[in-house]
């Protein structure tokens, strides 16, 4: 009887600990919609002594195409020596789970070797993709807890991790597998129990919903920023980003150029061939502009057949060269039915203005670039005109 009571007390205590952990982690995840921070919170809870207490935890997410697992984050020591040092520091400072979760910024700025390694891993979701892929495809936990089972596994990723005994659990959201978590006790050699696996699985299901909510939030945010036809930034986002980039240019004493782009004689093309054909031209020109940019440049659809291109840290001459490259690529492109256009091709006109020499504020910079664009139209179209303070334009 007494033994039964003690067993019941132990189970009750464990349940209390589990609920407390889930509550604490849930509260932490509710404070952010940043996906990377959520992933950090999840793995911190899995590896912390005050949490599930695993030595290492790795998290992989299914990519957008649904055909592979991509390594996203890993937490854990790189060696037994490092493990001992870290655990001693945590014990000495009596760090709680909340304390460890609050170290996200430090973790992000100083990624571990294990974290960098995992972020370089991509695993095809095929039956020959290995044990991590199998866990994702089957949607079931996989336990490797003894030598006999481990000896039958031939998996490059597991070999790279030097893992012997471990557990892999799927991350699920709305009954769909969105990733997997790998966890082991490579340094402490503490046995992984059925209770550990049960709790890790329960925790992974809870975490999966938080990950999915973060993804949905960012997808919705992205849609609110982008033009539905072209996929590049819309007018509202352009206005915001130009303001931000001008602030950065002022703070760092750097130049910034703005190119306004307008499709020549677009009404003629639309009237003769219809709006669906016109939409295809707009989409293709957006693609050409986007693919002709540097990584730092910001293309946007300004409205109708007009585009804008923000060029941070770019002089007027550099902007002119970029503009000419884009103009030529558009005029040379074999658009369907281009021969109905007055110039026998789909072409664009461009106007360029530069901060700080032409304007110091957003509204004036747009006006100067628009004036240069207007001049390009009046001078015969299919050309790039740069604003000049002395000549009005040149």
Q: Which residue has the higher pLDDT, 13 or 30?
A: 30
Report the pLDDT averaged over residues 75-84. 80
Q: Are 103 and 43 in contact (CB under 8 A)?
A: no
Is 64's pLDDT higher than 80? yes
Q: Are 261 and 348 in contact (CB under 8 A)?
A: yes
What gap in Å lies between CA 75 and CA 49, rounded to an integer? 13
Report the pLDDT averaged over residues 35-53. 81
Q: Over the stretch 173-206, which tens digit does the pLDDT of each residue have? A: 888 999 999 999 999 889 998 888 888 888 888 8
Report the pLDDT averaged over residues 276-304. 95
Is 6's pLDDT higher than 70? no
Report the pLDDT averaged over residues 198-221. 85
Domains along the chain with CATH numbers: 2-223 (3.30.450.40), 235-393 (3.30.70.270)
- Residue 341 — very low, low, confident or very high, per pLDDT cuts 50/70/90? very high
What's the sign of the alpha-carbon dihedral 314, 320, 324, 326?
positive
pLDDT at 254: 96
Structure tokens at 50: 């005050």
Report the pLDDT averaged over residues 130-140. 92
pTM above 0.85, yes or no: no
Residues 6+ apart with CB under 8 A from 268: 340, 341, 342
Burial 320-351 (b: 16+ CB within 10 A, else e): bebbeebbeebbebebeebeebeeebbbbbbb
Is 3's pLDDT higher than 70? no
State how far the alpha carbon of 160 is from the alpha carbons of 136, 177, 222, 333, 369, in Å: 19, 24, 36, 48, 55
Q: Over the stretch 372-392, which tens digit does the pLDDT of each residue have? A: 999 999 999 999 999 986 555
Task: Provide the mean pLDDT of the chain.
Answer: 87
- Residue 18 — very low, low, confident or very high, per pLDDT cuts 50/70/90? low
Active site residues: 305
Residues 6+ apart with CB under 8 A from 14: 195
């Amino acid at each position: 009887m007494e033994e039964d009571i003690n067993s019941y007390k132990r189970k009750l205590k464990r349940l209390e600990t589990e609920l407390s952990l889930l509550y604490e982690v849930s509260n932490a995840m509710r404070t952010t919609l940043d996906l990377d921070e959520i992933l950090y919170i999840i793995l911190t809870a899995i590896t912390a002594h005050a949490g599930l207490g695993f030595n290492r935890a790795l998290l992989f997410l299914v990519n957008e195409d649904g055909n592979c697992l991509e390594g996203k984050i890993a937490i854990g020591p790189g060696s037994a020596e490092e493990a001992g040092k870290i655990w001693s520091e945590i014990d000495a400072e009596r760090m709680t789970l909340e304390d460890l979760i609050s170290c996200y910024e430090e973790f992000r700025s100083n990624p571990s070797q294990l974290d960098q390694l995992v972020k370089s891993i991509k695993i095809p979701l095929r039956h020959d993709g290995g044990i991590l892929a199998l866990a994702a495809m089957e949607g079931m936990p996989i336990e490797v807890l003894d030598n006999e089972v481990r000896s039958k596994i031939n998996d490059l990723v597991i070999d790279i991790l030097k893992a012997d005994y471990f557990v892999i659990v799927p991350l699920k959201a709305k009954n769909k597998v969105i990733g997997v978590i790998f966890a082991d006790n490579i340094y402490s050699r503490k046995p992984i129990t059925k209770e550990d696996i049960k709790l890790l699985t329960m925790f992974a299901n809870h975490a999966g919903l938080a990950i999915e909510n973060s993804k949905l939030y960012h997808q919705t945010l992205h849609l609110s920023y982008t033009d539905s036809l072209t996929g590049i930034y819309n007018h509202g986002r352009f206005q915001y980003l130009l303001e931000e980039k001008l602030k950065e240019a002022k703070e760092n004493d750097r130049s910034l150029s703005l190119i306004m782009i307008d499709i020549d004689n677009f009404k003629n093309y639309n009237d003769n061939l219809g709006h669906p054909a016109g939409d295809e031209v707009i989409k293709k020109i957006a693609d050409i502009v986007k693919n002709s940019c540097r990584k730092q440049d910001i293309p946007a659809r300004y409205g109708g057949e007009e585009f804008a291109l923000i060029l941070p840290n770019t002089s007027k001459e550099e902007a002119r060269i970029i503009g000419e490259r884009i103009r030529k690529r558009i005029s040379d492109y074999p658009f369907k039915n281009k021969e109905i256009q007055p110039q026998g091709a789909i072409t664009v006109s461009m106007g360029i203005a530069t901060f700080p020499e032409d304007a110091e504020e957003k509204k004036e910079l747009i006006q100067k670039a628009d004036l240069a664009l207007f001049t390009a139209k009046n001078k015969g179209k299919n050309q790039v005109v740069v604003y000049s303070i002395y000549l009005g334009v040149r």
